[in-house]
Amino acid sequence: MNIKELAKKLQNVKLTSGHRACSGCGFPQIVRAVLAATDDQIVASCATGCLEVTSTIYPFTAWNIPFIHNAFENSAATIAGVETAFKSLKKQGKIKKEIKFVAFGGDGGTYDIGLQSLSGALERGHKFVYVLYDNEAYMNTGIQRSSATPYGAATTTTPAGKVHPGKEQFRKDITKIVVAHNIPYIAQASVSNLMDLTMKAEKAFKADGPAFLNVLQPCTLGWRYPSDQTIKMAKMAVDCNFWPLYEVENGVYKLNYKPSNPIPIADYMKPQGRFNHLFKPENKWILNKIQKHTDEEWEKLLRLCGEN
């Protein structure tokens, strides 16, 4: 699909305007790009979170497809049940057309409380696409830290002060955890590159089994940056190698983008209020630690992708 085809498909809106997402939020673009990646009918499940509460406040909905609101922890389990019912009805001859299935969840409902549900659905081999819109904290309930929250970030449950400099653990690598399930297709993407995201969503919907997309979605409220800078923040995350764009297809790693001149991770962090405290002289060691960790993880990925 080229950019003109994508633009045309995005006009056939499966998620309408009129939702109540924050100004500058990236998930509407993510959802529309993913849903535009297939011409088949789609059924979606969605965990409780920012996407759900802003798009389905009763009695209104922004969804133009069949949509199921789930509890925080069971978006994957719900869509797995729907996919199983579909297979049964198709076997009985009661359904003839092709239907695709997609589950949406934020990082809280995926990295943490929904990991068990996701892991089970992947292991059982249900044919669906799981889309994680990753904003790196429990944004919907008050900006609490999750296991997706980066090292050093200030949240309401890891406030930066004299004793603790924000979160003191590196984020969980959920993408590689999913890779360990040996499913057909896994990818990391960013809202800053919708062509890359749509290409990966097309592959995900065509996969013969479960597929997983982890999409970075900066949060203007929780990350504390101006609302017109979301795409810039997402692009900087890629350009400093904090958020690599890659895919794993049938176990084979492929790097989709390699910055020719990576920027320091401090340049990416400085515009974000959640990292303000790290730029005090006494916290320079934390920035150095984060840069070292980012460089090491990047080198590991290059080796997996056969780039070294």
State how far the Cα of 192 lies from the Cα of 179, in Å rounded to an integer: 23
Nearest to 276 by CA among 291, 262, 286: 286
pLDDT digits 0-9 by tens, 257-278: 999 999 999 999 999 999 999 9
Quickly state the pLDDT bin for 308 (edges 50, 70, 90).
confident
Domain residue limits, the chain? 3-304
pLDDT digits 0-9 by tens, 43-88: 999 999 999 999 998 899 999 999 999 999 999 999 999 999 999 9
Q: Are 65 and 46 in contact (CB under 8 A)?
A: no
Q: Is the dihedral of CA 241, 242, 243, 246 positive or negative?
A: positive
The rounded percent of the chain whose pLDDT value lies above 70 is 98
| Residue owning tokens 């990576």 | 262
Mean pLDDT computed over 209-220: 98
CATH number for the domain whose boundaries are 3-304: 3.40.50.970
pLDDT digits 0-9 by tens, 117-142: 999 999 999 999 999 999 999 999 99
pLDDT digits 0-9 by tens, 236-249: 999 999 999 999 99
Which residues does 78 contact at the CB level (< 8 Å), separation at least 6? 45, 68, 70, 103
Whole-number average pLDDT of the chain? 95
Say whether pLDDT at 12 is over 70: no
Question: CA-CA distances (angstroms) from residue 137 to 114, 140, 202, 245, 266?
Answer: 14, 9, 28, 21, 20
State in Å, rounded, how far the first CA of the chain is from the last one.
30
Say whether pLDDT at 206 is over 80: yes
What pLDDT sits at residue 244? 98
Say whether pLDDT at 3 is over 90: no
